[in-house]
Amino acid sequence: MKSPITILLLLFAFIHSNAQTTIKGTITDTKGVPIVGANIYLDGTYDGSSSDENGAFSFISSETGVQTLIVSFISFETFSLQQEITDMKNLNIRLKEDVNSLGSVVLNAGTFSAGDNSKTAVLSPMDIVTTAGAAGDYIGAFQTLPGTSTVAEDGRLFVRGGDANETSIYIDGLKVFQPYSATTNNIPTRGRFSPFLFKGTNFSTGGYSAEYGDALSSVLLLNTINEPDQEKTDISLINVGVGVGNTQKWKKNSLSINAFYLNLKPYQEIISQRFNWIKPYESLSGEAVYRYSFKNGLLKLYAGLNYTDFNLIQEDINTPLGVNIKLKNRNTYLNTSYKGSLGNDWSIATGTSFANDYSDIKFDSTLVDDEINSFHFKLKFKKRFSNRFKLNIGAEQFINEFSEKAEDVSFGTFRSKFDNNSTAVFTEANLFFNKKIAMKAGVRGVHNSLLDYTKVSPRISFAYKTSSKSQISLAYGDFYQNPEQNVLKYNQTLSPEKSSHYIFNYLYQKNRRTFRAEAYYKSYDKLIKYDTEGPEFSSLFTNKGNGYATGLDIFWRDNKSIKNLEYWASYSYLDTKRDYKNYPSEATPNFAAKHNLSLVTKYWIKDWKSLVSTTYNFASGRPYNDPNQITFQNQKTKSYNSLNFSWAYLLSQQKILYFSVSNALGIDNVFNYQYANTPNINGDFARRAIRPGADRFFIIGFFWTISENKTDNQLDNL
């Protein structure tokens, strides 16, 4: 019998003479270039090492049997190898680049991103709201980006020769049916939503994803904040209204609410207006966002209510006394979305949006009551097969109920009503071949029950990284859109309008400087035409219209060259013609200026604790039709110029004094001309210039944020 001591000694010897294996190899990238500093180790053990300057590594392990070797390195995909440890010799491991890492190619043709989570973000969320001239309007800031046309009397987004209704707006992936506040001709509108609820935005001026339909030109995608940073109360006192907001946070959920009351009456009593306001613009709006985080997902509820009313007499060349327009509008918008992971690399995004819009309008003696109920449901699944291949698949349903009652002594009561429902399915694949080449291919199918059509539209985009700082991308897509409701209420046998986009994009980004150039061609087909001045009951409607838009958009942003100064410049060249509506022949529409230029600067003056912003907008003359001329739409207005200025002064970290003036130089701008329906005794058609309600607009405000930590302020709301 061996003594216990011997056994003990033997055991010790055994422990210390564990068979040792040397694991050796080299790490390179896919092209064979050595990777220095990769982390190589046996999973679950302390045995490992880093690769040297030749990519070589070597370490000793006393483990035995089948082991898992892990190789990880920043910006590369983690590699793992399961093998008998004694076979782990002279390993040649090639790491694949992580296509999700920085410096990867981005599919960005057509798109401007804003927000800090995007690799190609050209604007930060703060930029959107500190832009002079935007006056806190979310939409205003996007009008300084290339691809948009300045149509100051309208206020909506006109993209690449497209009419304003060719742009669709989405919040958290769900459609916003009435994104702009109610207004009438030549009184510019504003976005209904307060900017501080959003964290990121994608503004696509063409070639967008198969997920979005019913828009010929553009989509604007707004995302609400997932989790507010802190609890706070915001108070705004402005010369045209008052607002209050509050955010509360709990463990898993949070609630933000805000309300704003706007009344232009006191302002218009001081500053003279060109329009004859009987009851100036007044509106009351409220919004609430509730967020709840589940273990694997996030639920968001958004509700917006808005009430607007005004009454004015608008000049009209055909009516010496002017036209009386009275409007009351009530809009309710609800949006519920859920995003979450389902495990196994599947994720879900689903939600519904609902809008009820009621307008009571009076045009002189004609009374119009409109009521629209709209509903959108979307269900989307995403499967991540690998970092390099992702697939989206989804379906959506739109329900639209429109009803109108028009009353006038001349025609009695006229009622129209239609249900416009669409069902769509889409799928899209994202493919990264490597860090340099990526493509996205998708297809969308839609069936509309009102017009009884089914359309399939392909979308494809491709991007190639030409150097570490630059890339090129291409995109193509077909887009369909239903005729507008003022056409649909008279005719329900038409086809949808169609456009096709061809886009070439070049992007260069280095050291907080961005240069972006995008050339495009867009064809229009099946545009709605009618033979009366506007769409009417008796109009003859056809789908025989068509057109094109082609141009070049340039964007330059520099945050680096001059200390404390940020600026961006946009230039858009646009060549477009279309034959639509009541055009006798192909012509350039009034909203499409050939040259648009914006220059935005923001300068932080430390000693004055002030952020001074200026925005200069230029648009070349806009076409208009002079019936005294033989050729249709061959005249041009003078060019448009506007210099906007704003100054935010920080009284303290939480109190801001704000002043802004639009068109500071008071340049007399003309948007269009209205001609008389009948010639005067000399045989000439008389005209009236369409000009803004006032040359300048002043805002003076005081913004106060009350929060526990005293650093937040409303600078990002201005």
Beta strand 437-448 with 319-343 is unpaired
Q: Which is nearer to other proteins, 104 or 669 (CB)?
A: 104
In the complex with other proteins, the residue whose CB is nearer, 83 or 652, is 652
| 94: nearest Cα among 55, 63, 122 | 55
Structural contact between residues 128 and 500, judged by C-beta atoms closer than 8 angstroms = no
Q: Are strands 218-224 and 167-171 parallel, antiparallel or unpaired?
A: parallel
Q: Measured between alpha carbons, how far is 632 from 588 in angstroms, rounded to an integer?
A: 10
Q: Order of strands, edge to edge, in the sheet holding 121-123?
A: 121-123, 111-114, 198-204, 218-224, 167-171, 174-176
Q: How far is the CB of 105 from other proteins (least distance, A)?
A: 14
- Nearest distance, CB of residue 3 and other proteins, angstroms: 9
Rounded distance, CA 33 to CA 285, Å? 60
Q: To the nearest whole angstrom, how small is the minimum distance from the Cβ of residue 280 to other proteins?
A: 34
Q: Give the count of beta carbons closer than 10 Å to the beta carbon of residue 700.
A: 14
Task: List interacting residues with other proteins (CB under 8 A).
Answer: 4, 7-8, 11-12, 15, 37-39, 41, 43-46, 48, 50, 70, 72, 74-75, 101-103, 116, 124-126, 229-230, 511-512, 559, 566, 606-607, 609, 650, 652-653, 707-709, 711-712, 715-716
CB-nearer residue toward other proteins: 31 or 606:
606
Tell me which residue has tokens 């110029």. 641
For 278: left if phi > 0, alpha if psi spans -120 to 50, otherwise beta; the answer is alpha
Pair 392, 64: CB distance under 8 Å: no
Q: How many CB atoms lie within 10 A of CB 335?
A: 24
Least Å from the CB of residue 61 to other proteins: 12
Rounded CA-CA distance 90/462 in Å is 39
If the CB atoms of residues 211 and 566 are measured against other proteins, the closer one turns out to be 566
Which token pair is 394? 């989804």
- Closest separation between CB of residue 174 and other proteins, Å? 24
Task: Tell me how far, at minimum, the Cβ of 125 lies from other proteins, in Å.
Answer: 7
115 versus 286: smaller Cβ distance to other proteins: 115
Question: Measured from the CB atom, is 15 or 681 closer to other proteins?
Answer: 15
Nearer to other proteins, 586 or 716 (CB): 716
In the chain, DSSP finds a helix count (H) and a strand count (E) of 5, 39
CB of 235 to other proteins, least distance (A): 17
Q: Compute the least distance from the CB of residue 48 to other proteins, in Å.
A: 5
Q: What would the 3-class secondary structure string for 74-105 be?
A: CCECCEEEEEEHHHCCCEEEEECECCCCCCCC
Rank residues 415 and 512 by Cβ distance to other proteins and give the closer one.
512
Instruction: Indicate the DSSP class of residue 184.
Output: -
Q: How far is the CB of 605 from other proteins (least distance, A)?
A: 10
Alpha-carbon torsion (660, 665, 671, 672), positive or negative: positive
Question: Looking at beta carbons only, is 214 or 566 nearer to other proteins?
Answer: 566
Query: Is the CA virtual torsion 280, 183, 674, 151 positive or negative?
Result: positive
**Between 380 and 602, CB nearer to other proteins:** 602
Nearest residue (CB) to other proteins, 30 versus 511? 511
Task: State the nearest-atom distance from the C-beta of 143 to other proteins, in Å.
Answer: 22
Q: Which is nearer to other proteins, 229 or 484 (CB)?
A: 229
Q: How far is the CB of 47 from other proteins (least distance, A)?
A: 8
Q: Is 270 helix (H, G, I), strand (E, B) or coil?
A: helix
CA distance 313 to 309: 14
230/449 with CB nearer other proteins: 230
Instruction: Give the largest Cα separation in the chain, rounded.
Output: 136
Question: CB of residue 161 vs other proteins: minimum separation in angstroms?
Answer: 33
**Which residue, among 612, 601, 607, 602, has the nearest Cα to 658 in the 3D structure?**
612
Can you tell me the distance from the alpha carbon of 478 to that of 216, in angstroms, rounded to the nearest whole number?
Answer: 9
Three-state helix/strand/coil letters over 259-314: EEEEECHHHHHHCCCCCEEEEEEEEEEEEEEEEEECCCEEEEEEEEEEEEEEEEEE
Count CB neighbours of 193 within 10 A.
24
Say how far apart CA 140 and CA 145 lie, in whole Å: 10
* Least separation in angstroms between CB 134 and other proteins: 16
